[in-house]
Homo-oligomer: A and B are copies of this chain.
Amino acid sequence: MSDHKLQVIPLGGLGEFGMNMTAIRYKDDIIIVDCGMMFPEAELLGVDLVMPDLTYLKENQEQIRAVVLTHGHEDHIGAVPYFLSEIDVPVYGTDFTLALVDRRLEEYELEQEPRFIHIKPKETVEIGPFKIEFIHVTHSIVSAVALAITTPLGVIFHTGDFKVDPTPTDNELFDLHTLAEYGKRGVLLLLSDSTNSDRPGYTESERAVRPRMEEVFNRAERRVVVSCFSSSIHRIQLVLDLAQEYGRRVAVVGRSMVSVTEIAHSLGLLDIPDGILLRPQDAMDAPPDKVAILISGTQGEPMSALARVAVDNHKHVSVEQGDTVVLSARIIPGNEKAIFRMIDHMARRGADVLYGAMSPPLHVSGHASVEEMKLVLNLLRPRYFMPIHGEFRQLSKHARLADHLKFAGLEEAFVMESGDVLEIDHHGARRAGKVPVGRVCIDSGSVDDVVQEVVIRDRRHLSEDGIVLPIIAINRHTGRIENLPEIVSRGFARAEDGSAFMQTARQIVAKTLEGSNQEEKTDWGVMKEKIRADLKRYIVKETSRRPLIMPVILEV
> What is A's interface to B at a CB cutoff of 8 Å?
15, 41-44, 46, 198-201, 333-334, 336-337, 340, 343-344, 347-348, 352-353, 355-359, 391-393, 396, 400, 418-419, 437-439, 458-460, 462-463, 467, 469, 471, 473, 475-477, 482-483, 486, 488-491, 524, 548, 550, 552-556
Q: Nearest Cβ distance between residue A402 and chain B, in whole angstroms?
A: 14
Residues in B with CB closer than 8 Å to A392 are 344, 347-348
Contact in complex: A356, B438 (CB < 8 Å) = no
Kindly state the separation between the CA atoms of A334 and B459 in the bound complex, as whole angstroms: 26
Query: Nearest Cβ in chain B — how far from A494, in angstroms?
Result: 15
CB closest residue in chain B, given A46: B554
Which residue of B15, B46, B489 contacts A488 across the interface (Cβ within 8 Å)? B489
A459-B437 Cα distance, complex, nearest whole Å: 41
16 CB contacts below 8 A, A to B, read A15-B344, A42-B42, A200-B358, A200-B359, A344-B392, A347-B396, A418-B477, A438-B477, A458-B556, A459-B555, A460-B475, A460-B482, A462-B473, A469-B552, A486-B490, A548-B554
Are B334 and A337 neighbours in the complex by a CB distance under 8 Å? yes
3 nearest CB pairs, A to B: A459-B556, A344-B392, A333-B336
Contact B438 A475 (CB under 8 A): yes
The smallest C-beta distance from A291 to any residue of chain B, in angstroms, reads 22
* Contacts beyond the supplied A46-B554, A344-B393: 15 A-B pairs with Cβ under 8 Å: A41-B337, A41-B555, A42-B42, A42-B337, A43-B555, A199-B357, A200-B359, A333-B336, A340-B391, A344-B391, A347-B393, A418-B477, A458-B556, A459-B554, A486-B490
Main secondary structure of the interface of A (DSSP, over half): mixed
Residues of B within 8 A of A355 (CB): 198
| A515 CA / B501 CA spacing, docked (Å) | 40
For A359, the closest partner residue in chain B by CB is: B200
C-alpha gap A490/B439 in the complex (Å): 32
Chain B residues near A352: list those with CB within 8 A.
400
Give the residues in chain B near A200, CB-CB below 8 Å. Answer: 357-359
Contact of A343 among B41, B46, B393, B524 (CB under 8 A): B393
Residues of B within 8 A of A336 (CB): 333-334, 336
Chain B neighbourhood of A201, CB < 8 A = 359
Complex alpha-carbon distance, A41 and B199, angstroms: 28
Closest CB in chain B relative to A412 CB, distance in Å: 15
A400 to B200, CA, bound (A): 32
Q: Min CB distance, A533 to chain B, in Å?
A: 19
Cβ contacts under 8 Å, A353 to chain B: 393
Across-interface contacts of A439 in B (CB, < 8 A):
476, 555
Inter-chain contacts of A438 with B (CB < 8 A): 475-477
B residues in contact with A356, CB < 8 Å: 198-199
- Taking CB atoms, residues of chain B closer than 8 Å to A482 are 459-460
Closest-CB distance, A354 to chain B (whole angstroms):
9
Contacts of A471 in B (CB 8 A): 467, 490
Find the residue from A336, A475, A491, A554 having the highest chain B CB count within 10 A.
A554
Name the distance in Å between A315's Cβ and chain B's nearest Cβ: 25
Contact present for A554 and B462 (CB under 8 Å): yes
Q: Which residue of B359, B393, B550 is within 8 Å of A552 (Cβ)? A: B550
| Distance A199 CA – B356 CA, assembled complex (angstroms) | 8
Q: Roughly how many angstroms separate A462 CA and B484 CA in the complex, as a whole number?
A: 11
Complex: A41 Cα to B241 Cα, angstroms: 42
Measured CA separation A391–B346 after assembly (Å): 12
- In whole angstroms, what is the CA distance A153 to B460 when docked? 68
Closest Cβ of chain B: how far from A286's Cβ, in Å? 26
Cα–Cα, bound, A419→B478 (Å): 12
A437 contact set on B, CB distance < 8 A: 477
Separation of A60 and B491 alpha carbons in the complex (Å): 52
Residues of B within 8 A of A359 (CB): 200-201
**A524 surroundings in chain B (CB, below 8 A):** 43
Distance in angstroms between the alpha carbons of A392 and B334 in the assembled complex: 20
A284 and B392 alpha carbons, distance in the complex (Å): 25
Interface contact B486-A488, CB-CB below 8 Å: no
Across-interface contacts of A467 in B (CB, < 8 A): 471, 554
A353 to B198, CA, bound (A): 10
| Chain B hits for A548, CB < 8 A | 554
- List B contacts of A556 (CB < 8 A): 458-460
